[in-house]
Amino acid sequence: MAETQGEAEFRRLRTPRAAAFAGVVFGVLFASSIVLLHTALPASASSPWVRGQSQITIALILAPFAGIAFLWFIGVVRDHFGKLEDRFFATVFLGSGLLFLATMFVSMALAGGLLAVSRHSTTPQDELVYFGREVMLHVDNVYGVRMAAVFMISLGTIWLRTGLMPRWLAIVTYLFALSLLVVVSFSLWVTLVFPAWVVVVSAYILGVDRVRSSHPD
């Protein structure tokens, strides 16, 4: 019994730190891959074809690791709910997170397809690349961003109902999420709101965990 309690205590102390690091890793990797993609693809059909093939390659390498970190972030945050978990909001939280991750991978797959076409096509097809870019932006900034907003709203609601996180953070989460739901823009900065929010949440969890570690009960 003592060993079981010790394992539970170790798990209770380590889970928030793991969540924080996973969120930071996701935020950095996802933001980096998005910036690389947006700066590499042409802004219009008359622009040069694919300007930065190496940038797209790096983004495609970073994206799977960002997805893994986000899955870990979802898992440990949900585990942090414990017995306070609400089935309805937890289901929305989990489903929207997985859908966001799916849209991210679809977007990266489109970028990989554009990269393959640019390498193996003998005749540049600017319209094809521009079409692929527009599809990628719609997947990211229309569907992915809104799934991220639903993810934030459900998590903010859980925080308000359970008191697991401070009220100000839940309110800020609502404000960011509502802006993502309402604003329809292909701007790079709109896409970066979500990873920035994940980093802020992770940094807060990491700070709280550090305080608790330095002042054990």
Predicted confidence (pLDDT) per residue in 112-162, tens digit: 887 777 776 655 566 777 777 788 888 888 899 999 999 999 999 988 888
In a domain, 23, yes or no: yes
In a domain, 131, yes or no: yes
In a domain, 10, yes or no: no
Cα radius of gyration (the chain): 20
Question: What does the pLDDT look like over 164-217, one tens digit per residue?
Answer: 888 899 999 999 998 888 876 767 677 888 999 999 988 887 877 666 656 655
In a domain, 13, yes or no: no
Domain of residue 45 covers 18-203
In a domain, 208, yes or no: no
In a domain, 1, yes or no: no
Best CA proximity match to 66, nearest among 26, 35, 104: 26
Task: Yes or no: say if 110 and 132 are a contact pair by the CB < 8 Å rule.
Answer: yes
The total number of structural domains in the chain stands at 1
Q: Which helix or strand (DSSP H or E) is residue 120 part of?
A: helix 87-120
In a domain, 214, yes or no: no
In order of 12, 20, 197, the CA distances from 76 in angstroms are 11, 9, 17
What's the pTM value of the predicted model, to 2 decimals?
0.80
In a domain, 59, yes or no: yes
